[in-house]
Amino acid sequence: MAYEQKDGDLIIFKNEQAEGNQPPYTGKGIFNGEVIRVALWVKEGAKGKFFAGRIQSEADRPETQSPEPETKDNLPF
């Protein structure tokens, strides 16, 4: 039986390919029916190590696809 993520749940994985300031842990969650991306970093504080994180709406992510190039048929002349 496959895991079904529900509203309010997070799934976090270790980012094995993290380089530089990329987060060592990433994942996704669902909040109020919206898919969110989660990034976590391990930080050192006065009381020891802790996770610091950032969330981003999946809808706010920049598109990764490049726009289609114009063809002769799309030109105004």
Q: Is residue 34 part of a domain?
A: yes
Into how many domains does the chain fold? 1
User: Could you give the 3-state DSSP secondary structure of residue 55?
Assistant: strand
Least confident range of 18-22, 51-55, 66-70: 66-70
Q: Is the pLDDT of residue 39 over 60?
A: yes
Q: Is residue 74 part of a domain?
A: no
- pTM (two decimals): 0.70
Q: Which structural domain range is residue 34 located in?
A: 1-59
Q: Is residue 50 part of a domain?
A: yes
Which residues are 12's β-sheet partners? Answer: 27
Lookup: tokens for 46: 């006065």
Q: Is residue 52 part of a domain?
A: yes
**Do 27 and 38 contact (CB within 8 A), yes or no?**
yes
Q: Is residue 72 part of a domain?
A: no
Q: Is residue 67 part of a domain?
A: no
Q: Is residue 71 part of a domain?
A: no
Number of Cβ atoms within 10 Å of the Cβ of 24 = 13
Q: Is residue 77 part of a domain?
A: no
Q: How does residue 76 score in pLDDT terms, banded at 50, 70 and 90? A: low
Tell me the residue length of the chain.
Answer: 77
